[in-house]
């Protein structure tokens, strides 16, 4: 089994209908798919790789080697460390301080985030179309209805590295979970694998594909689509060799947005609640690595 790979440029060709169907299948049957020819310039992607690799070496590697994850692994016995991730991560948001010691990091990542945000909105419009929703429905649902900056859809990016692990069988790279938010766009390592999704009871590799963007749907898309599109369990394995780079961008609702199944899709009630996204995130913070269904039940009771 292999994650679907879709040529996004064919949306503008005579193969548009086929490409739309492939994306819908990726959302319905997999919850993950890879886009090639997605419109983000190759030159920019190469810059992103370079500055992120330099950033880790200059600003993160020394601290990771002194981190609790490393200490726990060194001190442990043969028991697997179940509540630890072998991951170095920072989050880039509009309103937080970005690293400034790595040359060109801020400028390059700002350029990349602008491009990947545009791609996210194009992907959401495709989802609207295939779900039979008005154009812009998902984007509008992710905003809370007024022009207050705090009520706009939330866009952020996690820059992660998974360094080589001397005992990869003893620790997770990143524990299995579903993503809380909306649409996730991942620019993963060209050569070092480790990302897997759960499909049909089996863990399936998300194969490295140079300069592709991996798309996955989060819990909020599952709710908005009334279960037609699924958020799926995924994890990252710790690896013995190489430093896996992972740049995940999240297009999420504002914390004030009200999320519920789209009325056009509720021919059959499937039990998804109506809730405020901020309440969901409060539950998710405590239950990220547990099944999503109890999270839906918890916000239903709020």
Confidence (pTM): 0.95
Measured over all CA atoms, what is the biggest interatomic distance in the chain, rounded to whole angstroms?
59
Q: How many other CB atoms are found less than 10 A from the CB of residue 68?
A: 8
Please give the structure tokens belonging to residue 199: 């499909």
Please state, in angstroms and rounded to a whole number, the distance separating the CA atoms of residues 195 and 184: 14
**Which residues are within 8 A (CB) of 69 and not within 5 positions of it... i.e. 6 or more apart?**
81, 84, 85, 86, 87, 171
Kindly list the distances between the CA atom of residue 20 and the CA atoms of 2, 24, 120, 123, in Å, as whole numbers in the listed order. 19, 6, 15, 10
Residue 140: strand, helix, or coil: helix
Question: Considering only CA atoms, which of 275, 180, 260, 168 is closest in space to residue 219?
Answer: 180
Q: What is the pLDDT along the chain (302 residues), one digit of tens a residue?
A: 889 999 999 999 999 999 999 999 999 999 999 999 999 999 999 999 999 999 999 999 999 999 999 998 888 777 888 899 999 999 999 888 999 899 999 999 999 999 999 999 999 999 999 999 999 999 999 997 666 666 889 999 999 999 999 999 999 999 999 999 999 999 999 999 999 999 999 999 999 999 999 999 999 999 999 999 999 999 999 999 999 999 999 999 999 999 999 999 987 767 799 999 999 999 999 999 999 999 999 998 88
Please give the structure tokens belonging to residue 249: 């961008």
Domains of the chain listed by start with CATH number = 5-253 (2.60.120.330)
8 Å CB contact between 55 and 28: no
Please state, in angstroms and rounded to a whole number, the distance separating the CA atoms of residues 213 and 95: 25
Tell me which H or E stretch contains 48. helix 42-55
Please state, in angstroms and rounded to a whole number, the distance separating the CA atoms of residues 170 and 152: 41
In b/e form, how buried is each residue of 132-142, taking b as 16+ CB within 10 angstroms?
ebeeebbbebb
Give the sheet arrangement for strand 244-252, strand by strand. 5-7, 32-36, 213-217, 183-188, 244-252, 154-162, 88-92
**Which residues are within 8 A (CB) of 221 and not within 5 positions of it... i.e. 6 or more apart?**
27, 127, 138, 182, 183, 229, 231
């Amino acid at each position: 089994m292999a994650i679907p790979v879709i040529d996004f440029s064919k949306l503008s060709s005579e193969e548009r209908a086929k490409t739309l169907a492939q994306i819908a299948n990726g959302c319905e049957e997999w919850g993950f798919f890879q886009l090639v020819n997605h419109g983000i310039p190759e030159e920019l992607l190469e810059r992103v790789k370079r500055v992120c690799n330099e950033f880790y070496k200059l600003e993160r590697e020394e601290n990771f080697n002194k981190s609790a994850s490393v200490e726990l692994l060194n001190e442990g016995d043969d028991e697997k460390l179940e509540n630890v991730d072998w991951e170095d991560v920072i989050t880039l948001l509009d309103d937080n301080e970005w690293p400034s010691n790595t040359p060109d990091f801020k400028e390059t990542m700002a350029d990349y985030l602008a491009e990947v945000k545009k791609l996210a909105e194009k992907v959401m419009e495709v989802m609207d179309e295939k779900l039979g929703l008005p154009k812009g429905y998902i984007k509008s649902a992710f905003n809370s209805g007024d022009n207050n900056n705090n009520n706009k859809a939330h866009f952020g990016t996690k820059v992660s590295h998974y360094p080589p692990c001397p005992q990869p069988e003893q620790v997770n790279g990143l524990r299995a979970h579903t993503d809380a938010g909306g649409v996730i766009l991942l620019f993963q390592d060209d050569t070092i694998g480790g990302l897997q999704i759960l499909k049909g009871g089996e863990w399936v590799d998300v194969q490295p594909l140079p300069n592709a963007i991996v798309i996955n749907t989060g819990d909020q898309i599952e709710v908005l689509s009334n279960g037609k599109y699924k958020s799926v369990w995924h994890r990252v394995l710790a690896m013995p060799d190489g430093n896996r780079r992972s740049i995940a961008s999240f297009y999420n609702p504002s914390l004030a947005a009200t999320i519920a199944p789209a009325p056009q899709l509720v021919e059959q009630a499937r039990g998804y609640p109506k809730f405020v996204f901020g309440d969901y995130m409060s539950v998710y913070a405590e239950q990220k690595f547990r099944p999503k269904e109890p999270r839906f039940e918890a916000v239903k009771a709020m």
